[in-house]
Structure 1
Amino acid sequence: MSRTRRPSRTALLLTTAFLLSSCGIPETGVVEAGEPATGIRPAYGLYFVGEGTLLAVRRHVFGLAGIETAVAMLFQGPDAQERRKGMTTELPPMRGAPTVRTDGGRLSIELPGLTEPLTGTALAQLICTAADARLVETPDADTASTHVTVTGSGGWRAEGSSATCPSVTGAG
């Protein structure tokens, strides 16, 4: 007769201990919890008007980023929190998106529709916002040499430089 070998008591205890030592987290599969991680969101300096002067605020971008995005956010005007702080805009409402082009240290912004010439303050808002966005997009760019040309469909044209823009502080 052959004799069957029974597992040792130690082997049984080790197997039982191993099975009982799971971490206790049940298997759940994939759990949907919001948008996928996309990395660092850029923050652009938008320039609004408050107490007769340019005021810069930082706004983070959700979605596509770029100089065009910063300019589009500027034309949307101050948000509710910024309005409560007394910020306004001198930029007119736009029916379409401005066209932004870059060429080295120069930016050109073409405004859509029958846009009247902008006030000096509105031009400064646009020039400073575009120049800051260029710096966010190209961190090694020299903002002191950023020149911006703004044109309207009525044939008017204005130029400016970021040299006189106030610095951006805080978050929007």
Structure 2
Amino acid sequence: MNPTRPPRVAPGTRRALPLLLTALLTLSACGIPATGVVEAGEPATGVLEPGRTAVPSETQPTAVPVATVPLYFVADGALVAVPREVPGTTDLAGTVLMLLKGPDGQEQEQGLTTELPPSAVAPTVRTDGAAVVVQLPRSTGSLTDTAVDQLACTVAVARLRQDPALGSAQVTVEQPGGRLAGRSSDDCPTGDVAREADRTAGTGGTGEPGDPGVPGGG
């Protein structure tokens, strides 16, 4: 038997094979795939005009709630409730810490002062329903009656802002050495600084008890 002979290749085909291999190698070297179109990435979503760049979408900022916290300072020897706006909510200890920093520049220009000593340490505040105990840091000196009124009224009103259903709040101020002083929110004036400024200037009333321009008056 004769061994199987390989199929014969036409002479024209022999000459075309080297050219075909050369073309394939050239395409591969240039980075052009020889297997057709290869898709990659996401399709384009639009066409920009010449000279313009894409601008990322902007998200709307989230509004931060603002809480009004009354702080009690002193004007002409009387307590005055001064509203302070703070972002978000403020706990009782944070409210007292704001009070201990004293009136700001604008409030000082309006004649407001404080009898509370400045402190960078927040007191310990314990709540039990309508009862609140404020324990001052050991570094705090002895407070005057007016200073106790400032502190107790600020805490009492702030507590009622937290839970208006309480109706009233009882605050006990515990000073270093165990000295206690109690106040009720019912005894705290509600007049604001504008009304007190009118009173001291003689434009808001007679200055007598019961006058609307006097904190705690009608």
What TM-score range do you get, normalising by the shorter chain? 0.7 to 0.9
Give the TM-score of the pair, scaled to structure 1: 0.74
Distance 1:159 1:29 in 2: 59
- Among 134, 149, 155, the alignment partner of 1:124 is 149
**How far is 1:57 from its partner?**
0.9
2:197 aligned partner: none
**How far is 1:64 from its partner?**
4.9
Larger Rg: 2
Q: Contact 1:45–1:57 (CA<8 Å) still a contact in 2?
A: yes
**How far is 1:116 from its partner?**
2.6
1:152 maps onto 2:179 in alignment: no
Distance 1:27 1:136 in 2: 49
Distance 1:169 1:86 in 2: 13
Distance 1:56 1:96 in 2: 23
1:29 aligned partner: 56
Q: Deviation per CA, 1:129-169, whole angstroms, max 9, x where unpaired? A: 001111111122212xx111111232222111122111154
Q: Contact 1:114–1:152 (CA<8 Å) still a contact in 2?
A: no
**How far is 1:78 from its partner?**
0.4
2:81 aligned partner: 56
**How far is 1:29 from its partner?**
2.2
SS in 1 for 2:106: helix
Quickly say closer, same or farther: Cα 1:147–1:169, change in 2 above 3 A.
same
**How far is 1:97 from its partner?**
1.0
SS in 2 for 1:83: helix
Whose RCO is larger (CA < 8 A, sep 6+)?
A: 1
Amino acid aligned to 2:137: P
2:205 aligned partner: none
1:96 maps onto 2:113 in alignment: no
Q: Deviation per CA, 1:74-113, whole angstroms, max 9, x where unpaired? A: 1111011110000000001224111111101100001002
1:167 maps onto 2:190 in alignment: yes
5+ long unaligned stretches in structure 1: 1-25
**How far is 1:65 from its partner?**
1.3
Q: CA RMSD in A?
A: 2.5
5+ long unaligned stretches in structure 2: 1-52, 195-218
Distance 2:57 2:170 in 1: 50
* Identity of matched residues, %: 44
1:140 maps onto 2:131 in alignment: no
Would you identify which runs of 4 or more consecutive aligned residues in structure 1 move more than 6 Å?
none
Distance 2:133 2:116 in 1: 17
SS in 2 for 1:101: strand
Provide the aligned length of Structure 1 versus Structure 2.
143
Amino acid aligned to 1:78: P
Distance 2:112 2:57 in 1: 44
Q: Contact 1:149–1:158 (CA<8 Å) still a contact in 2?
A: yes
Q: Deviation per CA, 1:16-74, whole angstroms, max 9, x where unpaired? A: xxxxxxxxxx97324488x7422x31111100001110011111112551212211111
